[in-house]
Structure 1
């Protein structure tokens, strides 16, 4: 008889175990499982949307309240000998009762739990209660017992195995959740079952695909059982004797094609089936080899170095049960379309869902996975140590099949915190996580997943004896830019690998308009609530430096700070890539947001692309031109050579050619060529009135000799034609022809309709040139409004007024 799986997602209610500031129905609040308290209260109309205005500030009581989820289900004798109650995820501190009898407790959001319950089941109706202790109650009590530890925020997230950014971050709200956040089911079985399957798709020393399988067996009897492992026509048959609870197999799969990141090749994936008696496990994997050169921090896949064009990923919603596979796919497609090839799952979040990693496998996006430790000293005492061990073992096995996952990283910024943030004196000898990052985690990775490199943390220079932020080795995080200095300082140093850097900008206008009521002004109090960074609004304005003028109104503030964000990050990436191959990668902070907020994200909390996203698409393209130190750097991260005639022209702002040079160039695949700028174009006659244009094989860059605030930009003059895209109302074609030079033309159709999107922006046109923008997603009442401010903008609008 095969295993019986009975989901338990229906009929749940939620009750508060204590007084609360809202009136709850006596019979309980209808609850959705998977879900959480916040989303259940929101669905019942008992709280306001925490993402709107400052509603968040009135919801802190939820994370300080004990809650009970309760349901009833029917059960009848099914002929099996064992039945387990299986929770894929409980958030976080819970006691589980079946028919009034306690069957177990949990204290870790990052792992699953399985409780044997058959003796407690009744014919007919059964009751199931999950009682959640308030996260603050648990974490603060453990902090009191173990002694406080330093961290970036005065919150107890280091004392509970739970998503750290639930407790607030410099881009996120404080919304401390409880709930059954992943599926729950009853599973019945007899004799034996597949307890776990670890699948590792690797290459052997000869480069032939190889599948390593480890099978864990749970039994309630002593009989031997036969089984098999199958992949791509290869089949291995085995017998598990009565005393074998773990079996390991290796299959050579010579007919399999290797898996590559999207920037290097294709992503073949293969079904893997494991049978054990009548129980079956099905999964999917790909075959590739991964290595890490530690000093250079160079990641190679299948022996081929990969220059990392990465984006940092935070949880895409504060309430992750709301994330559908389609939403994750859309967000990862935005990373892909921005030419990113790696996603770093940041350590203040969680191990993402199976959907996330499956989609990365399919799309060819590499995954760097932080273990969930971030920006704090983490105690190593019990019960935390054993909880960490259990969660890590489970997730190493769960994520092992995914070829996209290429790196395990111990933590985010905790090694730097201990070395450079004054923690040592405050710790006074107490544990802080060293034993996790340098002992426990590497040991578990070596034992369970030897196919992937492990790195103790980021930033990290490869040894505990070295400063964590050594630019000549390992990874660095660059936050002087944004916090203290101008973005031109990115160019002060050549770094090996930049794992975090970024600059803030506001979300799309439609996103702000949805999330902030009242008049939008740069200093509106409700807008300020959606800026979580310390001194963030002042840093936005200081960051304009001498690059752009001070804004005069909200529309200019929104446009200029978004543009400055895009420019700052693009400047950094051009510098990093110009140092290829000494620099081996960059991971911008950050791809996404979890709510509507002024932040470092390229895609805002409502999924809208900010100007930064369009800039990323250009500077993360396979082929890039970067002007640095009197040379033009031709960066070719494509699989074929980049060759042709390089044309360099120095022009006046009215388009007149003042000097012109042409030379034949060839840049090898995955290579770089440095072309010294000829004297005729290297220096202008008048930098305020001239521009350098470089063109090669369809790629163009326009470089100004001075900052915008010193340019003699003419008032913008152009012609605009707006037409229907295809005659059916599906989209608009906005054609702009420049009569003067237009500096970084941008179109913001979401100001007319929140659903509208544009395919490009930040386009510089010389006099006489044209660009066509395509607007989709909405039918506009006044399409002609696409041709004027504040929808259509360029730098000329605000310079030289």
Structure 2
């Protein structure tokens, strides 16, 4: 039987004539950090001082003894980052140049000094660029010339920390006669039965051996004899339970086991979990353009999505528990789709296992982002090899529902002056429209493929045409106010977002000695977007009186503005289902402490946006918006049950007077939207008035006809009471966008809700965990809300 020996212990990193202890999996930066050679690059401006690490060669060594009673021994690396030479006592085992692949080297009977020498990723990438010619990109770093995590080279939310190292596990595999080299599971549903077809490939040491494969799933068993080195076994599971996205049903998973034997002696075994479901991508043309609607088990979905970037710039530090925590945060925010963005990696099995369990659909980009990628060798062969390996590796996961060729490269070719600059040179089109769809069609025909995001489906249209396919909405934030979201209804919004700084405690940890200001040195260093602070300031000024010299107030308002911006988009687009069939917020997470578009910051703390997503992505949503000159209440019902009830409307003034009201019947079919026109006499008129719409279950929508800077807010007055694990606020006036910043109470503290608006006499109880020394005065100081002008927070209401 195949034996596996983990091989992560005993490695050292050579540095300046010393041997530093090395963690495998790991990388050079984390080893240098552990040894005290470099300070934490996440703190202050230490990132700059670590730039030298990516510019030199590094060597890992250990002692290898491959002695074992079996016929063969293989040394298997699940991931090497990136350009490496592997030697055993000076004998070359092989060279690698792709972070996204695994590698296997025969070492039967060998012993001696094993060395893995990594070239500088810069040197390797620059050598390829010199051979193939320069290609345009969104950033100056040479990430498109090397099959490596692009955001290692920095991004508009990430540090430039160019890694090297043995970043995924290493093992020795000992085997005799034959081993399973690849299993490709095709999982489908036919007439209520689950069908699993396992395409098996083996490697033999005995060409004459009689090999049998036996498969088991759902109580069913099938056997077949292998002729040569490949074969297939098919099983049918009657009355199968379907796997559903979260919110649509349960996520049953079935254990699949495939055993390779010779003369009834087991040689190797392959085990995975699968889920039975169907997935389609409806891209049919209609009266509105060309659709982009995911259909799972025949159910058409509005995708409630978030974009995912690597959760750490050093991915080897992301544990199974950390994946579970972060993806659990997504699920708790009513997210049902996670897009694995193309400037990162194919994530580990732990990521996809968690998505399988949580019912999170996965949209998987191939790793190409924001650059023209050469199609010549050596890159073309590496791209095909990595695509083939990872398509097969990820096939068992029912959560994976879509393969996407690239991020923004088709758009870049058309709009970012690439076509002129390339002058006919290759740039990746052959990958996205040729190689990758062929690989997916050959290996994984059970899932759809799309050439890119954004992509309108044809060069006859603009790649980012909102009426066709996927759309990225970046005029908002970069140039326009978020009110512009309401000017169009894209078919599927795959990227949009607004920045805000991280939680206060995250900033304090990252910038421990700094007097915080929007433009203080550390804050500027942890703002990577082009003119990021300028865009934050302009975005604030459209809605608020920008506080001068009051960092705490600025911090609160920028976080409110982020939540308001994303809400403006999602409310509008959900109200136009089924024309719009999904929103994917940029972004869920961060890879370090930074001002960014994330809902969960680099220390794992939730911003107000995170809690707002819970409301925006709930099955039922109320939203008020102006359409064709009329004020309309849209009732969005994404649940499987019809929604019957009533909605109460109140026209009010900011000082608490009720000017009028009405009750309207509400009837919304399952998976549908109903629009109700607000009676003209209830439409708020002028800066002092607003409209409140309330429905059963705590659903509420608010409509203020002017920006906050024009609203004559009264001074907020409220009472604060405390109980174990809870802070209760009772409003005596209008209290708009009340926020308890729990991390100001204790870095470990968390609140269970974000922004909430209270009318006079209303109360809210905020659950708080992790607060070690509760103090009513501290709770009051940590409460923020809209005020008539910037005020001294030392004497709150």
TM-score category of the 2 structures, normalised to the smaller one: over 0.9
Quote the residue 1:713 is aligned against: 713
Equivalences for residues 219-230 of structure 1 within 5 A? 219-222=204-207, 223-230=209-216
Query: Quick one: which of 36, 56, 59 aligns to 1:45?
Result: 36
Query: Quick one: which of 525, 528, 541 aligns to 1:545?
Result: 541
In the alignment, the residues of structure 2 paired with residue 313 and residue 84 of structure 1 have an alpha-carbon distance, to the nearest angstrom, of: 34
- Displacement of 1:74: 3.9
Quote the residue 2:366 is aligned against: 371
Specify every segment of 5 or more residues in structure 1 that has no aligned partner in the other structure, as ranges: 17-23, 726-730
In the alignment, the residues of structure 1 paired with residue 195 and residue 656 of structure 2 have an alpha-carbon distance, to the nearest angstrom, of: 60
Whether 1:5 aligns to 2:4 is: yes
- Displacement of 1:207: 4.3
Normalized against structure 1, the TM-score is what?
Answer: 0.95
Quote the residue 1:757 is aligned against: 750
Whether 1:140 aligns to 2:126 is: yes
In the alignment, the residues of structure 2 paired with residue 103 and residue 323 of structure 1 have an alpha-carbon distance, to the nearest angstrom, of: 29
Whether 1:152 aligns to 2:134 is: no
In the alignment, the residues of structure 2 paired with residue 292 and residue 755 of structure 1 have an alpha-carbon distance, to the nearest angstrom, of: 43
What do residues 251-302 of structure 1 show as CA deviations (whole Å, max 9, x unaligned)? Answer: 2111320100002110000000000012111110100000001231000000
Contact kept, 8 Å, 1:234 with 1:253, in 2: the verdict is: yes
In the alignment, the residues of structure 2 paired with residue 145 and residue 798 of structure 1 have an alpha-carbon distance, to the nearest angstrom, of: 60
Contact kept, 8 Å, 1:660 with 1:680, in 2: the verdict is: no
Quote the residue 2:647 is aligned against: 646
Whether 1:308 aligns to 2:303 is: yes
Q: CA RMSD in A?
A: 1.3
Quote the residue 2:103 is aligned against: 113
- Displacement of 1:781: 5.9
Q: Which stretch of the first structure deviates more once superposed, 636-645 or 596-605?
A: 636-645
Aligned residue pairs: how many? 773
What do residues 464-501 of structure 1 show as CA deviations (whole Å, max 9, x unaligned)? Answer: 33211111110000001110011100011111100000
Normalized against structure 2, the TM-score is what?
Answer: 0.96
Q: Which stretch of the first structure deviates more once superposed, 6-15 or 703-712?
A: 703-712
- Displacement of 1:91: 0.4
What do residues 69-118 of structure 1 show as CA deviations (whole Å, max 9, x unaligned)? Answer: 00114443x22111111000000001111232111110000010001121
- Displacement of 1:541: 0.6
Quote the residue 1:728 is aligned against: none
Quote the residue 2:795 is aligned against: none
Quote the residue 1:688 is aligned against: 687
Quote the residue 1:636 is aligned against: 637
Quote the residue 2:531 is aligned against: 535
In the alignment, the residues of structure 2 paired with residue 797 and residue 80 of structure 1 have an alpha-carbon distance, to the nearest angstrom, of: 78
In the alignment, the residues of structure 2 paired with residue 154 and residue 207 of structure 1 have an alpha-carbon distance, to the nearest angstrom, of: 53
Contact kept, 8 Å, 1:509 with 1:751, in 2: the verdict is: yes
Whether 1:381 aligns to 2:376 is: yes
Whether 1:556 aligns to 2:542 is: no
- Change in Cα spacing, 1:337 to 1:798, as seen in structure 2 (3 Å) is farther
- Change in Cα spacing, 1:783 to 1:717, as seen in structure 2 (3 Å) is closer
Contact kept, 8 Å, 1:714 with 1:800, in 2: the verdict is: no
Equivalences for residues 555-704 of structure 1 within 5 A? 555-628=552-625, 629=627, 630-682=631-683, 684=684, 686-698=685-697, 699-704=699-704
Contact kept, 8 Å, 2:624 with 2:701, in 1: the verdict is: no
SS in 1 for 2:70: coil
In the alignment, the residues of structure 2 paired with residue 610 and residue 434 of structure 1 have an alpha-carbon distance, to the nearest angstrom, of: 38
SS in 1 for 2:542: coil
Query: Quick one: which of 70, 73, 85 aligns to 1:80?
Result: 70
Contact kept, 8 Å, 1:408 with 1:453, in 2: the verdict is: yes
Contact kept, 8 Å, 2:720 with 2:776, in 1: the verdict is: no
In the alignment, the residues of structure 2 paired with residue 545 and residue 690 of structure 1 have an alpha-carbon distance, to the nearest angstrom, of: 21
Equivalences for residues 458-469 of structure 1 within 5 A? 458-469=453-464
Query: Quick one: which of 728, 753, 772 aligns to 1:779?
Result: 772
In the alignment, the residues of structure 2 paired with residue 764 and residue 318 of structure 1 have an alpha-carbon distance, to the nearest angstrom, of: 37
In the alignment, the residues of structure 2 paired with residue 781 and residue 566 of structure 1 have an alpha-carbon distance, to the nearest angstrom, of: 28
SS in 1 for 2:316: helix
Contact kept, 8 Å, 1:643 with 1:697, in 2: the verdict is: no
Whether 1:282 aligns to 2:271 is: yes
SS in 2 for 1:604: coil
What do residues 486-543 of structure 1 show as CA deviations (whole Å, max 9, x unaligned)? Answer: 1100011111100000000000000000001321111101110000000001110100
SS in 2 for 1:543: helix
Contact kept, 8 Å, 1:713 with 1:800, in 2: the verdict is: no
Quote the residue 1:169 is aligned against: 155
SS in 1 for 2:187: strand
- Displacement of 1:783: 4.3
